[in-house]
Amino acid sequence: MKIFTGKVISKKMAKTATVEVVDISAHPVYKKRIRTTRKYQVHDEVGVKVGETVRFVASRPISKTKRWRIIHDTAKK
């Protein structure tokens, strides 16, 4: 089970937060660093705010787009 760390960018829905995860990887041939960004709809029972860094993990399907839930301990960075 993989744990993702990301930043909350939106909290406009009830019990749902949009979290942005940034991944930096190197190109296999040219070794240039490539930054990729993904957005996840995450179930929020904790009550996070926009701008916080949170950790979330896969869970059972909660709705059509939500398959993730926030872990209670937030990452302090």
- In this structure, what CATH number is given to the domain that contains residue 52? 2.40.50.140
What domain range includes position 34? 3-70
Any domain includes 62: yes
At 73, is the pLDDT very low, low, confident or very high (cuts 50, 70, 90)?
low
Which tokens hold the place of 74? 């937030």
CA dist 20 and 32 (Å) reads: 22
Other CB atoms within a 10 A radius of the CB of residue 6 amount to: 24
Name the token pair of 58.
Answer: 């896969």
Please check whether residue 77 lies inside any domain of the structure: no
The total number of structural domains that make up the chain: 1
Give residue 2's identity as a one-letter amino acid code.
K
Q: Is residue 34 part of a domain?
A: yes
Residue 17 lies in a domain: yes
pLDDT at position 76 is 57
The per-residue pLDDT for range 9-54, each reduced to its tens digit, is 999 999 999 999 999 999 999 999 999 999 999 999 999 999 999 9
